Amino acid sequence: MSLLALHGVRKSYGALKVTDDITLAVAEGETLGILGPNGAGKTTLFNLISGDVRADGGRVEYEGRDVTGLKPHQRCHAGIGRSYQVPQPFGNMSVFENLVTAACFGGGQSEREAWRTAQEVLAETGLMAHANTPAGGLTLLNRKRLELARALATRPKLLLLDEIAGGLTEPEARLLVEELQRIKARGVTMIWIEHVVHALLSLADRLFVINFGQKLAEGAPRAVMNDPEVRRVYMGMEA
Protein backbone atom coordinates (compact mmCIF):
# COMPACT_ATOMS: atom_id res chain seq x y z
CA MET A 1 0.00 0.00 0.00
CA SER A 2 1.20 3.53 -0.76
CA LEU A 3 1.85 5.82 2.19
CA LEU A 4 0.49 8.77 0.18
CA ALA A 5 -1.71 8.80 -2.90
CA LEU A 6 -3.17 11.73 -4.81
CA HIS A 7 -6.04 11.02 -7.17
CA GLY A 8 -6.90 13.65 -9.80
CA VAL A 9 -6.10 16.56 -7.48
CA ARG A 10 -6.98 20.01 -8.83
CA LYS A 11 -6.49 23.60 -7.69
CA SER A 12 -7.08 26.86 -9.58
CA TYR A 13 -6.53 30.49 -8.69
CA GLY A 14 -9.05 32.35 -10.85
CA ALA A 15 -8.50 31.12 -14.41
CA LEU A 16 -5.03 29.75 -13.59
CA LYS A 17 -4.97 25.96 -13.19
CA VAL A 18 -2.07 25.59 -10.75
CA THR A 19 -2.63 21.89 -10.07
CA ASP A 20 -4.25 20.19 -13.02
CA ASP A 21 -5.41 16.64 -12.39
CA ILE A 22 -2.35 15.32 -10.54
CA THR A 23 -2.28 11.63 -9.67
CA LEU A 24 0.73 10.22 -7.87
CA ALA A 25 1.65 7.66 -5.23
CA VAL A 26 4.56 7.41 -2.83
CA ALA A 27 5.56 4.09 -1.25
CA GLU A 28 6.64 3.77 2.36
CA GLY A 29 10.39 4.49 2.68
CA GLU A 30 10.61 5.99 -0.80
CA THR A 31 12.14 9.37 -1.68
CA LEU A 32 10.27 11.09 -4.50
CA GLY A 33 11.98 14.07 -6.11
CA ILE A 34 9.81 16.84 -7.60
CA LEU A 35 11.20 18.96 -10.41
CA GLY A 36 9.66 21.70 -12.49
CA PRO A 37 10.27 25.26 -13.66
CA ASN A 38 9.45 28.28 -11.49
CA GLY A 39 5.72 28.67 -11.09
CA ALA A 40 4.97 25.10 -12.27
CA GLY A 41 2.87 24.39 -9.18
CA LYS A 42 5.30 22.45 -6.98
CA THR A 43 4.76 24.33 -3.71
CA THR A 44 1.01 24.31 -4.31
CA LEU A 45 1.21 20.53 -4.56
CA PHE A 46 2.84 20.48 -1.10
CA ASN A 47 0.16 22.84 0.21
CA LEU A 48 -2.49 20.41 -1.03
CA ILE A 49 -0.74 17.47 0.67
CA SER A 50 -0.16 19.30 3.96
CA GLY A 51 -3.62 20.87 3.95
CA ASP A 52 -2.40 24.49 3.84
CA VAL A 53 -4.54 24.78 0.71
CA ARG A 54 -7.85 22.99 0.11
CA ALA A 55 -8.20 21.13 -3.23
CA ASP A 56 -10.95 22.11 -5.67
CA GLY A 57 -11.29 18.46 -6.64
CA GLY A 58 -9.70 15.04 -6.34
CA ARG A 59 -8.62 13.08 -3.29
CA VAL A 60 -5.59 12.96 -0.98
CA GLU A 61 -5.07 9.62 0.77
CA TYR A 62 -2.57 9.03 3.56
CA GLU A 63 -2.07 5.58 5.05
CA GLY A 64 -5.09 4.44 3.04
CA ARG A 65 -7.34 7.06 4.64
CA ASP A 66 -9.01 9.98 2.85
CA VAL A 67 -7.46 13.11 4.42
CA THR A 68 -8.71 15.60 1.81
CA GLY A 69 -10.98 17.29 4.33
CA LEU A 70 -8.47 17.39 7.21
CA LYS A 71 -6.88 20.61 8.47
CA PRO A 72 -3.08 21.13 8.42
CA HIS A 73 -2.62 20.38 12.15
CA GLN A 74 -4.64 17.18 11.83
CA ARG A 75 -2.46 16.02 8.91
CA CYS A 76 0.65 16.97 10.88
CA HIS A 77 -0.53 14.94 13.89
CA ALA A 78 -1.17 12.05 11.50
CA GLY A 79 2.51 12.14 10.45
CA ILE A 80 2.79 14.56 7.51
CA GLY A 81 5.60 17.02 8.30
CA ARG A 82 6.84 19.78 6.04
CA SER A 83 9.46 22.44 5.61
CA TYR A 84 8.77 25.76 3.91
CA GLN A 85 10.71 27.30 1.02
CA VAL A 86 11.16 30.45 3.06
CA PRO A 87 12.18 29.27 6.56
CA GLN A 88 9.57 30.27 9.14
CA PRO A 89 11.15 29.91 12.59
CA PHE A 90 10.20 32.05 15.59
CA GLY A 91 13.18 34.40 15.23
CA ASN A 92 13.30 35.56 18.86
CA MET A 93 13.14 32.05 20.26
CA SER A 94 16.18 29.80 20.57
CA VAL A 95 16.71 26.85 18.26
CA PHE A 96 15.79 24.50 21.14
CA GLU A 97 12.60 26.41 21.94
CA ASN A 98 11.61 26.32 18.27
CA LEU A 99 11.97 22.54 18.27
CA VAL A 100 10.04 22.05 21.51
CA THR A 101 7.25 24.23 20.09
CA ALA A 102 7.13 22.20 16.85
CA ALA A 103 7.09 18.91 18.79
CA CYS A 104 4.30 20.08 21.13
CA PHE A 105 2.02 21.91 18.73
CA GLY A 106 2.87 20.22 15.41
CA GLY A 107 3.54 16.74 16.74
CA GLY A 108 1.03 16.73 19.61
CA GLN A 109 3.71 15.60 22.09
CA SER A 110 3.70 16.23 25.84
CA GLU A 111 6.25 18.77 27.09
CA ARG A 112 8.44 15.99 28.47
CA GLU A 113 8.39 14.07 25.17
CA ALA A 114 8.99 17.29 23.25
CA TRP A 115 12.18 18.02 25.21
CA ARG A 116 13.52 14.57 24.41
CA THR A 117 12.55 14.91 20.74
CA ALA A 118 14.21 18.34 20.53
CA GLN A 119 17.48 16.90 21.86
CA GLU A 120 17.41 14.00 19.40
CA VAL A 121 16.64 16.28 16.48
CA LEU A 122 19.41 18.73 17.47
CA ALA A 123 21.90 15.87 17.25
CA GLU A 124 20.47 14.52 14.00
CA THR A 125 20.64 17.87 12.21
CA GLY A 126 24.03 19.08 13.48
CA LEU A 127 22.45 21.93 15.49
CA MET A 128 23.54 20.88 18.98
CA ALA A 129 26.13 23.69 19.24
CA HIS A 130 23.40 26.21 18.37
CA ALA A 131 20.70 24.97 20.73
CA ASN A 132 20.59 28.28 22.62
CA THR A 133 21.13 30.57 19.63
CA PRO A 134 18.15 32.76 18.71
CA ALA A 135 16.80 31.39 15.41
CA GLY A 136 17.00 34.85 13.85
CA GLY A 137 20.79 34.88 14.27
CA LEU A 138 21.57 31.68 12.35
CA THR A 139 23.56 31.37 9.10
CA LEU A 140 21.64 30.25 5.98
CA LEU A 141 22.84 26.62 6.33
CA ASN A 142 21.71 26.51 9.95
CA ARG A 143 18.41 28.20 9.13
CA LYS A 144 17.84 25.45 6.53
CA ARG A 145 18.81 22.84 9.12
CA LEU A 146 16.40 24.38 11.60
CA GLU A 147 13.64 24.28 8.99
CA LEU A 148 14.38 20.58 8.51
CA ALA A 149 14.66 20.08 12.28
CA ARG A 150 11.28 21.74 12.97
CA ALA A 151 9.64 19.35 10.53
CA LEU A 152 11.47 16.37 12.09
CA ALA A 153 10.41 17.42 15.58
CA THR A 154 6.81 16.61 14.64
CA ARG A 155 7.99 12.97 14.14
CA PRO A 156 6.81 12.68 10.53
CA LYS A 157 6.39 9.43 8.62
CA LEU A 158 6.13 11.54 5.49
CA LEU A 159 8.51 14.49 5.22
CA LEU A 160 7.88 17.21 2.61
CA LEU A 161 11.01 19.24 1.82
CA ASP A 162 10.59 22.45 -0.17
CA GLU A 163 13.89 23.62 -1.74
CA ILE A 164 15.89 22.85 1.37
CA ALA A 165 19.22 23.07 -0.54
CA GLY A 166 18.40 26.33 -2.37
CA GLY A 167 21.01 29.08 -1.89
CA LEU A 168 23.60 26.86 -0.21
CA THR A 169 27.21 26.50 -1.38
CA GLU A 170 28.26 23.11 -2.79
CA PRO A 171 29.94 21.92 0.44
CA GLU A 172 26.94 23.09 2.49
CA ALA A 173 24.51 21.29 0.18
CA ARG A 174 26.65 18.14 0.54
CA LEU A 175 26.42 18.33 4.34
CA LEU A 176 22.67 18.70 4.17
CA VAL A 177 22.36 15.77 1.74
CA GLU A 178 24.36 13.58 4.17
CA GLU A 179 21.91 14.50 6.93
CA LEU A 180 18.97 13.69 4.64
CA GLN A 181 20.57 10.34 3.74
CA ARG A 182 20.66 9.41 7.42
CA ILE A 183 17.00 10.41 7.82
CA LYS A 184 16.09 8.34 4.76
CA ALA A 185 18.09 5.38 6.14
CA ARG A 186 15.91 5.30 9.26
CA GLY A 187 12.86 4.81 7.04
CA VAL A 188 11.31 8.26 6.72
CA THR A 189 9.40 8.66 3.45
CA MET A 190 10.25 11.89 1.66
CA ILE A 191 9.01 14.12 -1.12
CA TRP A 192 11.63 16.68 -2.02
CA ILE A 193 11.10 19.70 -4.29
CA GLU A 194 14.52 20.90 -5.39
CA HIS A 195 16.14 22.97 -8.15
CA VAL A 196 19.64 21.82 -7.07
CA VAL A 197 19.39 18.77 -9.33
CA HIS A 198 22.61 16.99 -8.36
CA ALA A 199 21.59 17.12 -4.69
CA LEU A 200 18.16 15.71 -5.56
CA LEU A 201 19.66 12.94 -7.70
CA SER A 202 21.86 11.80 -4.82
CA LEU A 203 18.77 10.91 -2.80
CA ALA A 204 15.70 10.44 -5.01
CA ASP A 205 14.49 6.93 -5.86
CA ARG A 206 12.08 8.34 -8.42
CA LEU A 207 11.35 11.72 -10.03
CA PHE A 208 8.08 13.45 -10.82
CA VAL A 209 8.26 16.46 -13.13
CA ILE A 210 5.56 19.14 -13.20
CA ASN A 211 5.00 21.80 -15.84
CA PHE A 212 2.02 24.19 -15.91
CA GLY A 213 0.39 22.23 -13.08
CA GLN A 214 0.45 18.94 -14.98
CA LYS A 215 2.63 15.85 -14.86
CA LEU A 216 5.31 16.06 -17.54
CA ALA A 217 7.26 12.92 -16.65
CA GLU A 218 7.63 10.35 -13.88
CA GLY A 219 10.00 7.45 -13.30
CA ALA A 220 13.56 6.37 -12.57
CA PRO A 221 15.81 9.44 -12.12
CA ARG A 222 18.20 8.81 -15.03
CA ALA A 223 15.40 7.96 -17.46
CA VAL A 224 13.48 11.10 -16.49
CA MET A 225 16.57 13.31 -16.81
CA ASN A 226 17.17 11.90 -20.31
CA ASP A 227 13.57 12.47 -21.40
CA PRO A 228 13.67 14.93 -24.33
CA GLU A 229 10.61 16.85 -23.05
CA VAL A 230 12.17 17.25 -19.61
CA ARG A 231 15.45 18.40 -21.17
CA ARG A 232 13.57 20.90 -23.32
CA VAL A 233 11.75 22.38 -20.31
CA TYR A 234 15.04 22.50 -18.40
CA MET A 235 16.98 23.87 -21.36
CA GLY A 236 20.70 23.93 -20.69
CA MET A 237 20.39 21.76 -17.62
CA GLU A 238 22.97 19.01 -17.21
CA ALA A 239 21.66 15.60 -16.23
Tell me the site size for ligand ATP, rule CB under 6 A: 11
B/e letters for 163-193, b = 16+ CB within 10 Å, e = fewer, are bbbbebeeebbebbbebbeebbeeebbbbbb
Nearer to ligand ATP, 163 or 179 (CB): 163
Sheet holding 158-162, edge to edge: 80-82, 158-162, 189-193, 31-35, 206-211, 214-219
DSSP 8-state secondary structure symbol assigned to residue 86: S
Cα-only R_g, the chain: 17
Among 31, 43, 98, 154, binds ligand ATP (CB under 6 A): 43
88 binds ligand ATP (CB under 6 A): no
Q: Which is nearer to ligand ATP, 153 or 160 (CB)?
A: 160
221 in contact with ligand ATP (CB under 6 A): no
- State yes or no: residue 40 binds ligand ATP (CB under 6 A): yes
What phi and psi, each to the nearest 5 degrees, are found at residue 217? -160, 160
50 C-beta neighbours (distance < 10 Å), count: 20
Which residues ranging from 10 to 29 are in contact with ligand ATP (CB under 6 A)? 13, 18
Which residue's CB is nearer to ligand ATP, number 43 or number 189? 43
The only residue of 5, 9, 33, 36 in contact with ligand ATP, by rule CB under 6 A: 36
Geometric angle at alpha carbon 147, from 122 and 234, rounded to 5°: 130
Q: Is 71 in the site for ligand ATP (CB under 6 A)?
A: no
The verdict on 44 binding ligand ATP (CB under 6 A) reads yes
Q: Which residues bind to ligand ATP, rule: CB under 6 A? A: 13, 18, 36, 38-44, 85
